[in-house]
Amino acid sequence: QKEVEQNSGPLSVPEGAIASLNCTYSDRGSQSFFWYRQYSGKSPELIMFIYSNGDKEDGRFTAQLNKASQYVSLLIRDSQPSDSATYLCAVKFPAGNKLTFGGGTRVLVKP
Amino acid sequence: ETGVTQTPRHLVMGMTNKKSLKCEQHLGHNAMYWYKQSAKKPLELMFVYSLEERVENNSVPSRFSPECPNSSHLFLHLHTLQPEDSALYLCASSPKGWFSETQYFGPGTRLLVL
């Protein structure tokens, strides 16, 4: 069983629309959740982190966490072509203190 | 620019070669990490150093040997690699100890083993 799962995509979104990305994780005791963006050929860069149930907004990005259902999502509002990238979900599992990454969701924003 | 640099950016080596990857962070962070990113696979943690002490070795083959001489530098020594070791090797650092804060990634070294 994969520990952190994401749909690999590609998720095709028209410019200006909302992109919705989902991530599920296996360890119910997980406390910290991160979203990284990785452009093709580049390294991952952190865009959001969330620790508490509910929503956290930062600019056009909103992270949503539901620990009971063991999922975390990322919404990108007013999607721009520059948002086209792979989005990696990462979860800090309590055992071993490791940060485990999902396989990433590729997002393609079409003008 | 995240303050984490890696050299070389690209490396081609034969299976009998010995090479080293270098990572340097200019952020004053206490923890440094090596990750492997292969095509169509999740990012895999290889090693973690916190305050220059190795705190995690994620079942990595011995042909990969890390070295952390000080809190700003991290090396990955490579010898007798296999073609399946071809991947993007990413270095990262975090401020206050391992995994207690968010991680900042370097640009990576793209390695091809022939």
> What is the 3-state secondary structure of chain A?
CCCEEECCCCEEEECCCCEEEEEEECCCCCCEEEEEEECCCCCCEEEEEECCCEEEEECCEEEEEECCCCEEEEEECCCCHHHCEEEEEEEECCHHHCEEECCCEEEEEEC
- What per-residue confidence (pLDDT) applies to B1? 55
Would you say residue A9 has pLDDT above 70?
A: yes
Cβ-contact A29, A74 below 8 angstroms? no
- What per-residue confidence (pLDDT) applies to B110? 96
Q: Which residue has the higher pLDDT, B54 or A40?
A: A40
Per-residue pLDDT band for B96 (boundaries 50, 70, 90) equals low
Nearest CA in chain B to A35: B102
Q: Which residue has the higher pLDDT, B49 or A18?
A: A18
CA dist A88 and A94 (Å) reads 19
Among candidates A97, A99, A100 on the partner chain, residue whose Cβ is nearest the Cβ of B103: A99
Nearest CA in chain B to A5: B42
Per-residue pLDDT band for A2 (boundaries 50, 70, 90) equals low
Taking the Cβ of residue A1 and every Cβ of chain B, the question of whether any pair is shorter than 8 Å is answered with no
- What per-residue confidence (pLDDT) applies to B56? 74
Cβ-contact B104, B94 below 8 angstroms? yes
- On average, the pLDDT of chain B sits at 89
- What per-residue confidence (pLDDT) applies to B39? 85
Mutate to test the interface with B, among A43, A47, A58 (most CBs of B within 10 A): A43
- What per-residue confidence (pLDDT) applies to B106? 95
Region B54-69: what's the mean pLDDT? 86
Region B77-90: what's the mean pLDDT? 95
Most confident of the following: A72-76, A90-94, B52-56: A72-76
Q: Angle at Cα B95 formed by Cα A75 and Cα B87, nearest 5°?
A: 65
Can you spell out the DSSP letters for B13-52? E-TT-EEEEEEEE-S--SEEEEEEE-TTS--EEEEEEETT
**Integer angstrom CA distances of residue B49 from A11, B30, B77:** 36, 8, 15
**Integer angstrom CA distances of residue B36 from A53, B40, B41, B76, B89:** 31, 12, 9, 11, 5
Region A56-80: what's the mean pLDDT? 96
Region A1-24: what's the mean pLDDT? 93
User: What's the sign of the alpha-carbon dihedral A63, A56, A101, B67?
Assistant: positive
Cβ-contact A37, B99 below 8 angstroms? no
- What per-residue confidence (pLDDT) applies to B113? 95
- What per-residue confidence (pLDDT) applies to B7? 97
Among A20, A19, A8, A17, which Cα is nearest to A72's?
A20
Percent of chain B with pLDDT over 70: 93
CA dist B80 and A84 (Å) reads 38
- Please tell me the distance in Å from B9's CA to the nearest CA on chain A: 11
CA dist A20 and B27 (Å) reads 33
